[in-house]
Structure 1
Amino acid sequence: MTAGSVAAAATFTWVGMVLAISFVEAPLKFRAPGVTAPIGLGIGRLVFRALNAVELVLALVVLSCLAARTPPVATWVASGLAVAALAAQLLLVRPVLGRRTRAVLAGQEPPRSPAHLAYVALEVGKLVALLTGGVLLLTS
């Protein structure tokens, strides 16, 4: 298996995880019978912590494979944008969301936060970048 094949597989695995968790599981869990906001947030915190850990591993695999292969610049840009979006989520947005989650779990009712919309926007951007990078990997 070539570095390009491994990078493409890791990229599309990453795409599948983001789609399944961020765009399917996360919104649906709050619609399940008996799931309160604190329970949903508690589950979400665990699920997104695990997702982000796997995303970091996949990002390292993709970047390592790209470094071994020297693909076209567009592939680097797309993959780099996905990694940058993940970094922004982890370093800038997740801490804000984490504080809000801890407040809700402590029984407080903090105001809605624009951080959630920022996270979703970064998730959409990351998804577009991953799809673009994956297609470029398959076609180069």
Structure 2
Amino acid sequence: MRTIDLSPLYRSFIGFDHLASMIDAASQNEKQASYPPYNIELLAEDKYRITMAVAGFAQNDISIEVQENTLTVTGKKEGKENTSEKRFLHKGISERNFERKFQLGDHVKVLTADMEHGLLHIDLERVIPEAKKPRKIEIGSNLLESK
């Protein structure tokens, strides 16, 4: 697997160190196992849905946290049943704990989370504040007088 040296970015881009950190974090996430499988869906222009296959997990086994621009979904089975007594002919449903992280863009907020039929749905929306939206400036207008 290729590794990327980001030290030139840290040296020459002042104030953009968070961008290099995001690239570094994304490359670390690529090394992460592909469990549990997930989809990222675009529902509308600024609405998204993450759907994760979490078969075997109950609602109280899963925690969802947002800190800064990172969404972390963690699944932990508290009391594992005695699986040594079970005899499987085929075991395809994984019951291992997981932690999956997603980097969120600026102004992306988590709206809801719901579980149905072994699928965890997390709805997100990008809400751009009015101050950040583009605005048209009329030629000949004095912006200082309007305040």
TM-score in terms of structure 2 length: 0.27
Higher strand proportion (structure 1 or 2): 2
Is the radius of gyration larger for structure 1 or structure 2? 2
Higher helix proportion (structure 1 or 2): 1
TM-score in terms of structure 1 length: 0.28
